[in-house]
A and B are shown apart, each in its own frame.
Chain A
Amino acid sequence: MPRPFTPKAITANALLEGDVIYLDHSGQWVRDLRQARAFTEAEVAEAALAEAAKDGMVVGAYLTDVKLGEHGPEPTHFREEFRRTGPSNYFHGKQESKEAEAHV
């Protein structure tokens, strides 16, 4: 029996800022993992990755494991947790922009 497929999101870095990005349901790149599309079938995920990787404005697209949380996909590994948050020594990166959004 094949191993069950762990849900995946497609992630990359934006060409201009280098910021971590995710592919959403409409095929747009978004900055928040919670808005990412979670793929539950291997072939669909692979096909979407092949298509997404053609985008010249993104770098290094790959599939990453996610679990499905209440507010959307969540990381399963600490590396992806840092990627969606930012560094732990300064309040820089995504955590900072989230804070800014929260105060809008």
Chain B
Amino acid sequence: MYKYNDFDEAFVRARVAQFSAQVARRIDGSLTEEEFRPLRLMNGLYLQLHAYMLRVAIPYGTLNSGQMDQLAHIAETYDRGYGHFTTRQNIQYNWPKLPDVPAILSDLADVEMHAIQTSGNTIRNVTADHFAGASADEVADPRPVAELVRQWSTDHPEFQFLPRKFKIAVSGAKADRAVIKAHDIGLYLREQDGEIGAQIIVGGGLGRTPMVGKVLKDFVSLADLLPYLEATVSVWNLLGRRDNKYKARIKITVHEHGIEDIRARVEARFTQVKPLFGGIDMAMLEEIKAAFAPPAFREAATEAYDRAYATDPVFRAWADTNLSAHKAPGYAIATVSIKTPGQTPGDASADQMRVLAQLARDYGHDELRISHEQNVILPHVHKSDLPAIHAALKEAGLAAANIGLVSDIIACPGMDYCALATARSIPVAQGIATRFDELKLEHEIGPLKIKISGCINACGHHHVGHIGILGLDRAGVENYQITLGGDGTEDMVIGERTGPGFAYDEIIPAIERILATYLELREAPEETFLMAYRRLGMAPFKDALYPPKEEKANAA
């Protein structure tokens, strides 16, 4: 893992000191709220419905055990004993008090963490494939590139007052697990003629105007990557619309100018910017790469795993859903579900965080990852340790065997916390998960991604859910629109709206009707919901959701 150098350490400490003084000046009245607000947002501090919310960056979703322990300590000392893992691989605390925030930031700095650029019109925390460095289908580890981008973008003087926020994601694998095409810039690392570089995707995004990212350049060598990113962001910084915040994101700029025009401008800017880098970026990348060298994988027998798999059905169910293929022989990637049916998606208690940290220390080469799907990953575990890991997870209430299934739902905080929300998301997620757990249909239904947002800004990625749910305020009541057929992978598709929305107490039965229709019409259990939707189209699901009027009258 990357270790802070003296510069990083000094920078983060200086920022803590600066913000501590700003908080003090706000409390003694020297700063007005108008003056203070941009300063707190620069440090990840929002004011939400019931309290402040502190959003802490987890760069490219990577944590070590000491950092996880510290997140637990903060949850217990300054908050309500839990934290919320977000769809941007961050953690949010929902109840900090303003006078405590400097101490929280100082505690974070002790473990090389911070909340800088988790808000505001800057380049936000860089996200990455949560299986980075572990997955069997990986071409290159995205984390060194993500760390390089983090260093370049942190406090970048040209990019502190962008037209709007800017999100960059990196994947180095064949399968896209990082929703690359829904980012302002997405990078697919790939190999060409023996050299690693990146395909640059630009102008993707969800929110009010969902767009699938477009290829800006098919291959940029790592040596040209930072200058190319700088050229792209700087072209947008000038062109991007500052007159209307709903049209300010780069997706709109690309849409309005056309990808060819943007490409020509980026190329022209690149020739100006490239000489300014002078190779220092590549020297830094080499240093960073060394920090992400793979751990010393051990060679051992996997009998303990095979035995448990053959004899313990609970373990087998968990192994079948929660493990993924690792690049090292005898190893697996274990995804710990933070989606126990009935619980809040992405919420982990301080005790659970400590269990996860301990498991990483004991069995996981001290590494943990947070996924944008709001789960926690032990990326490097030897299979022989999995029975012990599973037993510990069971004890901590973290052994749900549901990864990629109906109850593994993404949900934003919604109107239970968020000041922007127009409806609640969390209870809808809880309700769906609980209902299908009761029906015992989860494994029958198979792979399914349900994603719920409590407003049009789409933090819950509803557009790319196989089933997406968007909570709105319709004439003073919560109303939920459904989209079907969305896909967040490398073949990204924006889901299609079914029709009129559903009331709060109608949304779970509506989801049930969609899935009953799927079970009835699928050709075989191997045909997933998404495959069946692509074959059948919207019509049968629409019929199930909106029965003709006579039927309604009869039913009533």
**Could you tell me which A residues sit within 8 Å of B by CB distance?**
13, 15-20, 56, 59-60, 76-79, 82-83, 86-90, 92-94
Contacts and interface: CB of A to CB of B under 8 A. Distances in A.
B59 to A, nearest CB: 27
B508 to A, nearest CB: 15
B259 interface: no
Nearest to A13: B47
Contact of B476 (A13, A78, A94): A78
Interface of B: 26-27, 29, 32-33, 47-52, 80, 94-95, 97-99, 344, 347, 415-417, 424, 426-427, 430, 473, 476-478
Contacts of B49: 20, 79, 82-83
Given A18-B47, A20-B49, A92-B95, A87 B417 contact: yes
B52 A18 contact: yes
B416 A87 contact: yes
Q: Which 10 A-B pairs have the closest CB atoms?
A: A87-B416, A18-B51, A18-B52, A93-B50, A89-B426, A56-B29, A89-B344, A17-B97, A59-B33, A88-B427
Contact of A15 (B27, B347, B430): B27
- Chain A: interface secondary structure? loop
Contacts of A60: 33, 47
A58 B394 CA distance: 45
A88 B50 contact: no
Given A18-B98, A89-B344, A92-B95, A78 B477 contact: yes
Contacts, number: 71
Contact of B26 (A13, A15, A88, A89): A15
A59 B33 CA distance: 7
Contacts of A86: 50
12 contacts: A13-B47, A16-B27, A16-B97, A18-B51, A56-B33, A60-B33, A76-B476, A82-B424, A87-B416, A88-B424, A92-B50, A92-B80
A93 B51 contact: yes
Contacts of B477: 78
B82 to A, nearest CB: 8
B80 A90 contact: yes
A60 B99 CA distance: 18
Given A56-B29, A87-B426, 8 more contacts: A15-B26, A15-B27, A20-B49, A76-B476, A82-B49, A82-B424, A89-B426, A89-B430
A82 B415 contact: yes
A53 B99 CA distance: 21
Nearest to B99: A16
User: Which of A16, A17, A77, A87 has the most chain B CB atoms closer than 10 A to its own CB?
Assistant: A87
Given A88-B427, A89-B430, A17 B416 contact: no
Contacts of B476: 76-78
Contacts of B32: 56
A78 B478 contact: yes
A44 to B, nearest CB: 24
Contact of B50 (A16, A20, A59, A89): A20
A79 B472 CA distance: 12
A86 B49 CA distance: 9
